[in-house]
Structure 1
Amino acid sequence: MTQHHPPQRKHPGEARLPAAVAVAVAVGLYATLPQGLLVAPRVVVPVLEVLLFLPLVAANPRRMTRENRWLRRLAIGLVLLIAAANATSLGLLVNALVTGKAEQGPRLLLAAGQVWLTSVIVFALAYWELDRGGPVVRTQRPRPQLPTADFRFPQDEDHDAISEVARGSSALSGWAPGFIDYLYVSVTNSSAFSPTDTMPLTPRAKMLMAVESVSALMLSVLVIARGISLIK
């Protein structure tokens, strides 16, 4: 099969803003959860997340073009911290939905929405950080030197489509997935409980998508059951 490689050109780097907004939203959602869904004083986890995030922004304030071992570890550590905090809140929320009193219902349903949205963000961040070496590697290395892809996007196989579609393909335009693409993958996986147009390729990508789907399904079932119980 013929390999298509676009003309090599210096990529300006992925914009920092979309991922930064997502992190800020995740921090805010956690900080406003009911106290019963937190495992530490309200400000502890958000402050830790901000402390991890600030050096990442300082290193790449507008475009993501610089990376080293420590920045990479900080980025992964931030995702793990957000994920661990939200997973703990999810566990406490499940217990509260099952055992909580009726008067707690509306607040718990709102908290379920916060936990679900945070889950969508944290899995989007995980996909974004892991696929093809992360956001810096994806745009700053020549395509033949990229690590193995974790996800196959439609653009990765559109080079033989009609011309107006093929122009945007990875092979012909040099397209690389950005945070919004991974956020879309996370939203569709969390709402459809399965992949849609983007397929996981590696075991770690499949496991991450499986965990996201199962947790979203479990939360949806409990929220529906709780909502019905409030109607009675």
Structure 2
Amino acid sequence: MTSEDRTQAVRGRRGEARLPSALVVVAAIALYALLPEQLIIGPRLVIPALEALLLAALIVVNPRRMTRTNRWERVAALTLVGLIATANTVALVLLLRQLVTTDSSRAVELLVAAGQVWLTNVIVFGLAFWELDRGGPVARTHLPRRRMRRADFRFPQDEDHDTVDEVQAGSSKVSDWVPAIVDYLYVSLTNSSAFSPTDTMPLSTRAKILMGAESTSALVISVVVIAKGVGSLGP
């Protein structure tokens, strides 16, 4: 692809749709709001309400497609991710304490809560990867590659340009492919399941720190929390 072709491809990119990411955030808000009372910080609806307000502000800026960004939009987006992450981390700590101090009569409730915390963990790290990589969702679809920020992740599409025709057709160089929210959620899911990168490699220091933190927290949830919960179901 020539330089002119790449420029035309960038101009032809559409901003990423707002709906998928909005639904993901709504899912994270609902998962937290439905946790047992002992895992909630303060009144049940305070944090979900703050998160909903931040999401509403982001939707106002980009209601259908993500085509506009500014300093305050970026601050609101990163604050939203940070708020979800903080609330979920506290919920995990409280969950661990509940497992130590609570008898087996609440084992099923705690197992369900562990699943909620784990799924929220997948969502929040997927959102963090999505917001940070290459300058964020708006930059990825509106800037030529030479003006994008340094990549935090290397996807398979970023190195498929020298494969067979039907594979290279979807590569970054040939089709001007850029990752979207689903791609980052997949990275987060596989990292939480395998406790390590799978097909997408972290490149930057912050990406490695985030993936390390996610795999560690997922290990705690999967091995310690769920194992203790299952053990307490015994006779």
Q: Same fold (TM over 0.5)?
A: yes
CA distance in 2, matches of 1:217, 1:4: 47
Q: Any idea what the Cα deviations from partners look like across 1:174-228, whole Å, max 9, x if unmatched?
A: 1000000000000000001000000000010000000000111111112123202
Contact 1:125 1:182 in 2 (8 A): yes
The Cα of 1:6 is off from its aligned counterpart by: 2.9
1:83: which partner in 2? Answer: 85
Alignment of 1:129-148 (within 5 A): 129-148=131-150
Contact 1:105 1:230 in 2 (8 A): yes
Out of 215-224 and 84-93, give the one that drifted further: 215-224
1:30: which partner in 2? Answer: 32
The Cα of 1:142 is off from its aligned counterpart by: 0.7
Q: So what's the TM-score if we normalise by structure 2?
A: 0.95
Unpaired runs of at least 5, structure 2: none
Unpaired runs of at least 5, structure 1: none
2:179 is paired with a residue whose SS is coil
2:173: which partner in 1? Answer: 171
CA distance in 1, matches of 2:4, 2:97: 53
Contact 1:5 1:171 in 2 (8 A): no
The Cα of 1:231 is off from its aligned counterpart by: 1.7
Which amino acid in the other structure matches residue 64 of structure 1? M
1:172 is paired with a residue whose SS is helix
CA distance in 1, matches of 2:16, 2:152: 18
CA distance in 1, matches of 2:178, 2:118: 27
Contact 1:132 1:149 in 2 (8 A): yes
CA distance in 1, matches of 2:28, 2:37: 16
Q: What is the aligned-residue identity percentage?
A: 58
Which amino acid in the other structure matches residue 231 of structure 1? G
Which residue among 127, 130, 135 is the counterpart of 1:128? 130
The Cα of 1:7 is off from its aligned counterpart by: 4.6
Aligned length: 231
CA RMSD of aligned residues (A): 1.5
2:105: which partner in 1? Answer: 103
CA distance in 1, matches of 2:191, 2:3: 30
Q: Any idea what the Cα deviations from partners look like across 1:66-124, whole Å, max 9, x if unmatched?
A: 00000010000000000000000011011112222111111000000000000000000
2:66: which partner in 1? Answer: 64
